[in-house]
Structure 1
Amino acid sequence: MSVRNIFVVGLDEHNRQRLAHLRGAENYRFHGVIEPAEVNDTEIFPIEDMLARAETQLIAFGEPVDAIVGYMDFPVSTMLPILCERLGTRSTSLESLLKCEHKYWSRLVQHEVIADYIPRFTAFDPFDNQALQRIGEAGLYFPFFVKPIKSSGSRLGFRIDSPEDFVQAVERLCEDIGTISEPFNYVLEHATLPDEVRLVDGGHCMAEEIIGGWQCTLEGYVFQGDIVPYGIVDSLRYPQVLSFFCYRYPSLLPANIQEKMQALTRSIMAHIGYDNAAFNIEYFWDEVQDRIWLLEINTRVAQSHCDLFEKVDGVSHQQVMVDLALGQLPDMPYRQGDFNVAAKFFYRVFFTDATVSQVPSVEEIEALQQAFPGTMITLQVEIGMRLSSLPEQDSYSFALAYVWMGADDVITLEDNYARLAEQLHFAFEDIVG
C-alpha cells in the first residue's frame, strides 16, 4: 500500500505521538498545517489569513494530499470543510456542519424533528437595549441560560436568575464576543444560509430554557449515510456549579436511556444531512422527569476523550477521524484497552482571579504519574501567570491541571484521583475571591 499523506490542522507533538498508534498508521504520514498555538492557546483567530496560508502550504506540498483533519473546536472545525473543498479531500458539507455549530440554526433544524427533546430558545442581540424584553416576549423567563451563537467549551455562558445577572452577562458578552463573531462571520459568508439564519450572525446570542440532569456526550460518525454512535462519555460537574469535574468513560447511564439517545442521534444527524465525518452530541437525562434533552452538537471527535478511548477500547477515537477522511469505514476497536474505566479530571480553583506563585515541579509530576500507572498530568498554568489570562475557561473557575487516569472500576478511579489531587501543590498571590 502506498503511503497516505494526512494533514492535521494544529498538530502538536503529543497528538502526533497518539496518531502514530492508530491502526494502519504504518501506512500514514502525518503533517502539521497551521501552528497549534494559533488555534489552541489563543482567543484571536485570523481565520481568513490562516485558510490562505494553509491552502498555499498544501498546494505547494508536491505530493498527493490524501486527507485534511482536525480534532479541535473553533476555528479548526469550521475551517475544515472550506479547506477540504479547496483541496478536493473528503469532508461533510459546510452547510451541514453549520447546522450543528451555528447554535440558532441548529435549534431550528432540531425543532423540525425532535422538538420534544430540546429546550425553549430564542436568539437575541446583546447590543440591543431591549434584549431582555424581547427574550420575555419569546416566552423565556428567569431562570434561563445565555451563550454566544458560536462559542467553544463553556466560554461566555451564563445562568441568568435576575435582571442584574443579565446586565452583567451582557456586559461580558459585548466586551468579548467579537473575538469569535468576526471569524465566524467570515465562515458564514462561504455558506448558503436561510434568510432567518443569515439575520442571526456571529454577533448574536442564544437564550435557552434551563435544562439539566445527568450530562453525557455521545460520540459518533456518519459513513456514506450510515450513522454510527460508538461510545457515551459521562460529564460530571462540581457540586452546585457549572464547572466540569471529570469526563468518565464508559457511561453508567441506564441501557434504555443510552439506546434512546442513540435513536435521537440517528434522527437528527440524518435530518441535517451530515455525512462522512465524526461528531459528538451532548445530552442531559433528567432522571426525576425521565426526560432526555439535547444540549448541543459538535462537529469533531472530542480531543478530551481521546485518551479515555485509548485506555478502555485500545486506541484513540482519532481513528474514526482519520479513517473517515480517507474514505474508509472506521476501524475502531471495542474494549481492548488496559482499563475498564477511564476519566479526565479537571483540577480547579474557584477564584475570580489570582497570580500563580507555585506549581508542581516536573519531578513531582513524574513521580505521581509513576505512582498511578496510566496517568497523564498536564499543567495549564505556570508561575507568574494571571489566571484571567487563561484561554477557554468557563465563567466560574480556572482549570489548573488536567489529569487522565484509568482503573478497574469507578470507585478505584475516584479514590486514586482524590489521593493524587492531594499531592498537587499550587499557591497564589493577589487573590480576588
Structure 2
Amino acid sequence: MANTNVFVFGLNEFNRRKLENIRGSESITFHKLLDRSELTERMHYPIQEILDHARQRLRAFSGSVDGIIHYIDFPVSTIVPILAREFGLPSASLEAVLTCEHKYWARVEQAKVTPKSTPPFAAFDPFDDQALQRLEQEVGYPFWIKPVKSFSSYLGFRVDRPEDFHAGIRRIRAEISRFREPFDYLLDQVELPPDVAGVGGGHCIAEGIIDGHQVTLEGYGFNGNIHVYGAIDSKRHANRSTFGRYQYPSALPTRVLEGMEAITRRFLSHIGYDNMPFNVEFFWDAERDRIWLLEVNTRISESHCDLFEKVDGTSSHEVAVDLALGREPRFIKGDGAYPVAGKFFLRTYGDARVERIPDEAEIRRVERQVPGTTIQVQVEEGGRLSALMDQDSYSFCLALVFIGGRDEDDIVAKFHQVENALDFRLGQAA
C-alpha cells in the first residue's frame, strides 16, 4: 500500500506529536513545508518568494503530494488555497478565505446575512488625519480599531476618547506596512466586490465595542455542508482584551451555542466556504441575550489542538488531515483522559529584561508534579519583552501551559501550582 504524504507548513515537534497521534497516522508521512521562521514573526512577508519556495519544495518531492495542511495565520492561511488549486488538492477557494481574512470584507458580507450579530463598522485610512471625525459619526465611542489584516490582538486598540485613537494610530502607522504589500498582492488575485475594492491592506477597520462571554466554535466545511464539532471558552483578564486561558468544553448554555452554530452556517454558506477547517469567535452578551460575531479564522486553532486531545482523545489536526485528503472527518467526542482542559497564558505587564527562565529539567519536573500539564516557555534569557513580536497590545506572554483536569476549579488550581513553581526572573529594561 502506497504511503500518503501530507505537507505541513512550519511543522514543529509539538505539532508533529499531535499529528502522529491521530487515527490513521501510521499510513501517513508528514513533511515540513518551509521552516516556521520563514512564515511567522517577520517584519516583512515576501509573499511571492514564500509561494515560490513552497512550490519548488513540492515539485522537487519524488513521491506523491497528497495533501497540504496548516495551523498558522497570515500569510500561510492565504497561501494554502493557492497551492492547493495549483496541485489539484482539496481546499476552500482563495476568494472565500480572503473574505474571512479581510476584516472589512467579512463585516460587509456578515451584515448581509446576519445583521443582528454584526456591530457597527467602518473602514478608514490610518494616514487620513480627518478619519476620526467620520468614525465618531459612523461608529461612535467606544470603538475598537485594527488593520483589516491582522491577527490576535496585534495592533488592536480600544478607543474611548480621541487621545486613545491618536495613540493607537501612531503605532499602527509605524507597523502596518508589515501586512500592506503582501495582503494587497493576494487581493489582486481575486475580484473584489465594489464596496470593498477601495479598501486594501493598508486600511483599518473601526468597530463598535462588543463584549460578553467569548467562545470559539471549531468546525469545517465539507461538500457544501458546514459542521461544528467543538466550542471553547476564552477567559480574559480584567482589561477585557488580554487572554488568560482557553477552556474546553464551553460552559455556555446549549441554546446559545446552537444559535452560534446557526450564524456560522449562514455566513460560511453565504460566502461558499468549503473543504477546509475554520474557527469562529463569538461574544454572548448574557444581559441582553445577544450573540455577536467577532471573526472567522480559516484554519484549525493551534491553541485548541491539545485541548481536544486531552478531552476527546485526538487532536483537531485529524480534521485538517481528513479534509486535505478529501475525506469527510469523523471526529469522536469525549474519548480523552480528562473531562476539562485549558490553555493558560503566563503573562506579565510592562517591559522588562528576562534575567532567568526555567531550564528543561525544571520544566519536566513541574510537568511530573502537576499531572496533565505541558509547558512551553515563550521567552529567552537576556531578551527584552518589548522586542517580542506579535504580542497583544497590553501584555507579554512568558509561557504557555496546557492542562487537563476534573473540572474548571481543578485546572485553575493546577495552573497556579505551575505558575508558583516556575522560576522566571525579570529585571529592569535597559
TM-score calculated relative to the size of structure 1: 0.97
Match of 1:407 among 396, 405, 408: 405
* Cα separation, 2, equivalents of 1:388 and 1:247: 24
Say how many residue pairs are matched.
Answer: 430
* 1:380 partnered with 2:378: yes
Which residue in 2 is equivalent to 1:358?
Answer: 356
Question: How far is 1:431 from its partner?
Answer: 4.1
> Cα offset for 1:63?
2.1
Please list every run of 5 or more consecutive structure 2 residues that lacks an aligned counterpart in the other structure.
Answer: none
What residue is the counterpart of 2:153 in the other structure? 154
1:145-294 to 2 correspondence within 5 Å?
A: 145-294=144-293
Measure how far apart 1:54 and its partner are: 0.7
Matched residue, 1:131: 131
Partner deviation per Cα, 1:266-293 (whole Å, 9 max, x = no partner): 1111111000000010000001111100
CA contact (8 A) 1:55 1:87 kept: no
Q: Matched residues in 2 for 1:137 and 1:312: separation?
A: 47
Letter in 1 for 2:67: A
Shifted more, 12-21 versus 67-76: the winner is 12-21
Tell me which moved more, 400-409 or 78-87: 78-87
Q: Hey, what does 2:67 align to over in structure 1?
A: 67
Larger mean CA deviation between 382-391 and 276-285 belongs to 382-391
Q: Equivalents in 2 of 1:242, 1:152: separation in Å? A: 13
Per-residue deviation at 1:411? 1.0
Letter in 2 for 1:62: S
Alignment check: 8 A CA contact 2:312 2:336 kept: yes
Q: Which residue of 1 aligns with 2:5?
A: 5
Cα distance, 1:413 vs structure 2: 1.1
Residue 154 of structure 1, CA deviation: 0.8
Q: Deviations over 1:362-397 (max 9, x none)?
A: 222111100112211000111110111111100000
Structure 2: distance between partners of 1:148 and 1:303: 22
Query: SS of 2:113's equivalent?
Result: helix
Alpha-carbon RMSD:
1.1
Separation in structure 1 between the aligned mates of residue 45 and residue 372 of structure 2, nearest angstrom: 35
Q: Deviations over 1:219-270 (max 9, x none)?
A: 0101101110110000000123411000000000011101111111111111
Give ranges in structure 1 of 5+ residues lacking alignment.
Answer: none
Supply the distance in 1 between the matched residues of 2:429 and 2:211 (Cα, whole angstroms): 31
2:297 matches 1:302: no
Query: Is the contact made by 2:384 and 2:429 (CA closer than 8 Å) also made in structure 1?
Result: no
Q: Residue 300 of structure 1: SS of its match in structure 2?
A: coil
Deviation at 1:415, TM superposition (A): 1.0
User: Are the equivalent residues in 1 in contact too, given 2:358–2:423 (CA < 8 A)?
Assistant: yes
Paired with 2:133 and 2:213, the residues of 1 have a C-alpha distance of 32
For 2:302 and 2:229, how far apart are their aligned partners in 1?
Answer: 15
- State how far apart, in whole Å, the 2-side matches of 1:11 and 1:94 are: 22
**Matched residues in 2 for 1:137 and 1:369: separation?**
53
**194-203 vs 300-309, which moves further:** 194-203
Aligned to 1:37: 37
The answer to whether structure 1 residue 78 and structure 2 residue 78 are counterparts is: yes
Equivalent residue of 1:336, what SS?
Answer: coil
* TM score, norm. by length of structure 2: 0.98
Conserved 8 A contact 1:219-1:281: yes
Question: 1:150-206: per-residue Cα shift (whole Å, max 9, x none)?
Answer: 101110000001111111111100000010122111111111211321210010001
Between the aligned partners of 1:64 and 1:221, the Cα distance in structure 2 is 25
SS state at 1:195 partner:
coil
